[in-house]
Structure 1
Amino acid sequence: MTLMKFITSALVTALVALSFSAHANPSHGRPNHSMHREKAELLVIGHRGASGYVPEHTLASYWLAIEQGADFVEPDLVSTKDGVLVARHENAIAIVNDDGSVREATTDVMSKPEFASRKTTKSIDGVSITGWFTEDFTLAELKTLRAKERLPALRVANTRFDGMFEIPTFEEILQLVDQANQRRNADAKTEGRSLRKVKPIGVYVETKHPTYFQGINLPLEEPLVQLIDRYGYKRADCRIFLQSFETANLRKLRSMTRV
């Protein structure tokens, strides 16, 4: 089963009554520079995907955002123990309070006895946090976990998806966007529309805690630039944005890529 078919099947099964929006106009990445000038283009950003409908930072969430008309999908990126970029709201994939109760969890790691010993306390950007962290797991280990709704009291309906979806890598997200753009191009050809008028879906990337990851020898910048280069995002007019709460990280990225 292809990636797109799997996601479609999973969502249709669990969201029987949800009708998806039609595709917007589609391809692979290049907005006109007028986007940054007086003829500014209004952009719809799928922040963490369609997080109001499906647990955030899953391929299903990004895919649904695209189906609902998002111009860009927005993944938060952190690193695994073996240096692979994955999408999570934070590097802490489960956080516990002092009494052991759950404060926040984006995975089912707490239900895995084989990973009980990975619980630890760390200082992340000056904040003491007790829980489980992506940088203590290899990608293969993270792939045994499943995503959970981060805000179950707020997004109650999303909890029906707990345990359904994997933690996606950044490369898998780029592949999903590429597949969606290819589909848009194919639809345009079938309908006799010019590909020049097809608006591609873009990627709005946020690096999380880059200074922290640099300090533990898991820099985010190198694997990020390698992947966006590989998938064709090499110029300033490509359909991609890089964002961070840290300016040093952005300055470094500016010296490494032309996007």
Structure 2
Amino acid sequence: MPFVIGHRGASGERPEHTLAAYALAFDQGADFVEPDVVPTKDGHLVARHENEISGTTDVADHPEFAVRRTTKTIAGHTLTGWFTEDFTLAELKTLRARERLPQLRPANTAYRDEPIVTLDELIAYARDRGRGVVAEIKHSSYFASIGLPIEQTLVATFARNGWTRRDDPVWIESFEVGNLKALRSATNLKLVQLLEEKGAPADGGAESYAAMTTPGGLRTIAGYADAIGPAKALIVPRDPDGRSLPPTSLVDDAHAAGLKVIPWTFRAENLFLPAELRTGPDPRTHGRGADELRMFASAGVDGLFTDFPGEAVKAFSPPF
């Protein structure tokens, strides 16, 4: 059975990257939870989907922070809002998380008193629950360029909490390449090269993600990482009508290179499912997500990221 990672916690049922979401993921049987990791102005690591937080916190409701609204260019995208690197941890702790997709997941808007979670707090909670953490480094090159590199602090945070060994329940992942190569000589913790369906790593570490998924590209990745984390479409593509096509050879090719395969992201709503697994016309309705999960399990993936870890655990239970 593939291991189950609660993507930002059980983010289909609680606001993402909150203790409520992480707790529910573990309650539902997730083996790991996944925080996206960004730094504060004073060098602490917190769990947020992006460093721009206007859509995931109530920062706009705090007049004391109005002057911090600004525009920045990050990974080639121009964004206007509030950014974690402009706040101390104490200031971020005065904010409350908000549901990122309120129209799709309106029930999650009821959870309005969840604070911002630090990586230290999440690790301590995961250890208490006997579970693991899969930490994604966000925008490595950008944060290094402004004097807030994440990697050394991330490794030190895990070490401070007793996780330093290869067999500890920890994975560190990134869409960039150079930071993973540097981490290979700095830590024994397991590393994951994340792969988008299109484009190329922001740090220029490879010509394209497509080149990285060839047998030769996968052998290169195996020189510094333990697994790949590909977008689902790199394993099961879809036709122009949104229907699933036969699987590619990526899983077999990655296994041949000695890499595990951990695709992302599985969601239960019709909006995210292939056309043949949708139920009715409402994009919010849950379709046959269990069938998609089992499709990927049959393709041989080793683990997966899901917003609904409880559904994944159920889908992989006997008589699967």
User: Residue 91 in 1 paired to residue 91 in 2?
Assistant: no
User: Residue 180 in 1 paired to residue 129 in 2?
Assistant: yes
- The residue type paired with residue 46 of structure 2 is V
- State the alpha-carbon separation in 2 of the partners of residues 60 and 161 from structure 1: 8
How far did residue 231 of structure 1 move?
1.6
Of residues 85, 89, 102, the one that matches 1:135 is: 85
How far did residue 225 of structure 1 move?
0.7
Q: Could you state the TM-score of these two structures normalised by the residue count of structure 2? A: 0.58
The secondary structure found in structure 2 opposite 1:172 is helix
How far did residue 235 of structure 1 move?
1.4
After superposition, where does 1:235-246 map in structure 2 within 5 Å? 235-246=165-176
How far did residue 238 of structure 1 move?
1.3
User: Residue 48 in 1 paired to residue 5 in 2?
Assistant: no
Which of structures 1 and 2 has the larger relative contact order (alpha carbons within 8 angstroms, sep 6+)? Answer: 1
User: Residue 220 in 1 paired to residue 188 in 2?
Assistant: no
The secondary structure found in structure 2 opposite 1:44 is strand
- The residue type paired with residue 93 of structure 1 is I
- State the alpha-carbon separation in 2 of the partners of residues 253 and 115 from structure 1: 35
How far did residue 258 of structure 1 move?
0.8
Residue number in structure 1 paired with 2:42: 82
Residue number in structure 2 paired with 1:118: 68
- The residue type paired with residue 188 of structure 2 is R
How far did residue 252 of structure 1 move?
1.6
Q: Could you state the TM-score of these two structures normalised by the residue count of structure 1? A: 0.72
User: Residue 165 in 1 paired to residue 114 in 2?
Assistant: yes
Of residues 187, 193, 201, the one that matches 1:257 is: 187
The secondary structure found in structure 2 opposite 1:115 is helix
Of residues 85, 98, 102, the one that matches 1:152 is: 102
- The residue type paired with residue 116 of structure 1 is A
- The residue type paired with residue 224 of structure 1 is L
- The residue type paired with residue 75 of structure 1 is P
Runs of 4+ residues deviating >4 angstroms: none
1:178-232 residue CA offsets vs partner (Å, 9 max, x unmatched): 1212xxxxxxxxxxxxxxxxxxx11111010011000000000111011111122
User: Number of residue pairs matched?
Assistant: 189
- State the alpha-carbon separation in 1 of the partners of residues 100 and 135 from structure 2: 20
- State the alpha-carbon separation in 2 of the partners of residues 255 and 143 from structure 1: 34
- The residue type paired with residue 77 of structure 2 is V
Residue ranges of structure 2 left out of the alignment (5+ in a row): 190-320
How far did residue 120 of structure 1 move?
0.2
The secondary structure found in structure 2 opposite 1:226 is helix
- The residue type paired with residue 94 of structure 2 is T
How far did residue 60 of structure 1 move?
1.2
- State the alpha-carbon separation in 1 of the partners of residues 57 and 137 from structure 2: 19
How far did residue 155 of structure 1 move?
0.8
Residue number in structure 1 paired with 2:24: 64
- The residue type paired with residue 96 of structure 2 is R
Residue ranges of structure 1 left out of the alignment (5+ in a row): 1-40, 95-104, 182-200
- State the alpha-carbon separation in 2 of the partners of residues 148 and 42 from structure 1: 30
1:26-59 residue CA offsets vs partner (Å, 9 max, x unmatched): xxxxxxxxxxxxxxx5201101000011100011
1:145-170 residue CA offsets vs partner (Å, 9 max, x unmatched): 000001111111000112x1000000
1:120-179 residue CA offsets vs partner (Å, 9 max, x unmatched): 0000011110000000000000000000001111111000112x1000000000011112
- The residue type paired with residue 2 of structure 2 is L
